[in-house]
Amino acid sequence: METLESALALMLSQAQTVRETEDVSLSAALGRVAAQVVLAPVQAPPFDRSPLDGYCLHSGDIAAASPESPARLSVVGEACAGCTERFHVPEGCALRVMTGAPVPPECDCVVRQEDTDEGMNTVRVFRPVGHGKNVCYAGEDVARGDCVLHRGEAVTAAHIGVLASLGVTRVTVYRRVRAVLLSTGDELVQPGQPLTYGQIYDANRAVLTARLAELGVEAMALDSAADEPETVARLLEEAARSADVLITTGGVSVGKKDIMHRVLPCMGARRLFWKVAMKPGSPLLCGVYQDRLMICLSGNPFAALACFEVFASPVLRKLAGQTEVSLRRGKGRLTGGFPKASPGRRLIRARCEGDCVHLTGSNHSSGSLFSMIGCNCLIDIPAGSGPLQEGDEVEVILL
Ligand code: AMP
Ligand code: MG
């Protein structure tokens, strides 16, 4: 049986990043993974500019200024943000500037207007300002040639802002990962259809489609399938043609209807491993079909979702081209107890806020999906732990 870590490592070793790239506009780049580094083509800001309303001048001219004996300078003009005129400011002179206005190279500081008499033709300055003070220098945010987006990095809103500030309009990203999603089970009915006694609504298709969308994956969510190995095998073979990865739920345990063990050989897929030493989702089955990973999750909704987060999500990030794929971990103190002992490793749902870890909901069974609402982490309880008490320090996997 694999551990969480060995199973994940095996899966990642089989996951090949998509090769195709595409050029997208900046506004379409959010969440996409950069396929090329972006070096700043220009500097930002593009020119020395004033960060406040005042006067730019030569600091030496006001070195001895005080309220009692102000320095008196002639004002050569006025520049606001957007002013394209190039002023020359000789010694003994000042240029009235508003925030964002260019500061000519001969000026080495800006004095705030509050420290002057705000004069129009001549200005009286009441205090000195040091050399180089109150000027935003060209390139101080980003120098030309700086790396502003790394290959393998997911594009964030902040990246988009920086790229826009540099005049960049397009980014080369990996194409989106395409995943096939299939929930299996004779009992499954799609929402909107009437339920007969013994049937349940297919929650996995909905929740995993939503998670795939959140991760920027193109999901091909098939209609749920009955527990017939041949049918499921044909459906997956057909859908696999246009997919990078296959994700299924249901039918991986040891029961009569646990068909996925027959589906893999029926498709000619190779089994990578079966079973992981953890609850929930221990019967996780993983295979490879024509170089594509098959991630077969247990049907219990929490088991499916927890295993999706710890196994499928890193795999999808790697397929998508992200270089950072490891699980993010944290630590915190429990604000309530968990009464069950954990002879084996167990993941339970919780919400991490600061260094507090609150259990979400009261039903921790793997068939319950409700306690997933508000959950932002999974507490990773090591095998051999007793019941957990309020105040215990726990390790969490952040979602
Ligand atoms: P299985 O993994 O097929 O043995 O299913 C385990 C449990 O999860 C059973 O109670 C199933 O009815 C339930 N289940 C399976 N698939 C789904 C699904 N797509 N949505 C909600 N519950 C499911
Ligand atoms: Mg089943």
Where are the chain's structural domains? 4-19+175-319, 21-45+140-174, 54-125, 328-398
CA–CA separation, 352 vs 337, rounded Å? Answer: 15
What pLDDT does 364 receive? 85
CB contact burial 155-174 (16+ within 10 A = b; e otherwise): beeebbebbebbebeebbbb
Q: Of 1.10.530.10, 2.170.190.11, 2.60.120.260, 3.90.1150.10, which CATH number belongs to 54-125? A: 2.170.190.11
What pLDDT tens digit does each residue of the chain (399 aa) get? 999 999 999 999 999 999 999 999 999 999 999 999 999 999 999 999 999 999 999 999 999 999 999 999 999 999 999 999 999 999 999 999 999 999 999 999 999 999 999 999 999 999 999 999 999 999 999 999 999 999 999 999 999 999 999 999 999 999 999 999 999 999 999 999 999 999 999 999 999 999 999 999 999 999 999 999 999 999 999 999 999 999 999 999 999 999 999 999 999 999 999 999 999 999 999 999 999 999 999 999 999 999 999 999 999 999 999 999 999 999 999 999 999 999 999 999 999 999 999 999 888 888 889 999 999 999 999 999 999 999 999 999 999
Measured from the alpha carbon of residue 203, the closest ligand is 1
Cβ neighbourhood burial of 210 (10 Å; 0-12, 13-18, 19+): exposed
Whether the bond into 45 is cis, omega within 30 of 0? yes
Domain 21-45+140-174 class?
alpha beta
Beta bridge partners of 351: 358
Measured from the alpha carbon of residue 204, the closest ligand is 1
Q: What is the dihedral of CA 146, 151, 155, 160, to 10 degrees?
A: 30
What pLDDT does 350 receive? 97
Ligand 1 centroid distance, CA of 324 (Å): 32
Domains 54-125 and 328-398 share a fold: no
Q: Output the CATH code of domain 328-398.
A: 2.40.340.10
In this structure, the residues whose C-beta lies within 6 A of any atom of ligand 1 are: 183, 185, 187-188, 200, 202-205, 249-253, 298-301, 367
Ligand 1 centroid distance, CA of 366 (Å): 10
Whether the bond into 280 is cis, omega within 30 of 0? yes
Ligand 2 centroid distance, CA of 155 (Å): 39
Q: Under CATH, which architecture does the 4-19+175-319 domain have?
A: 3-Layer(aba) Sandwich (3.40)
- pTM for the complete prediction? 0.93
CA–CA separation, 135 vs 116, rounded Å? Answer: 17
Q: Measured between alpha carbons, how far is residue 338 from residues 241, 251, 282, 310, 367 in Å? A: 45, 29, 20, 22, 18
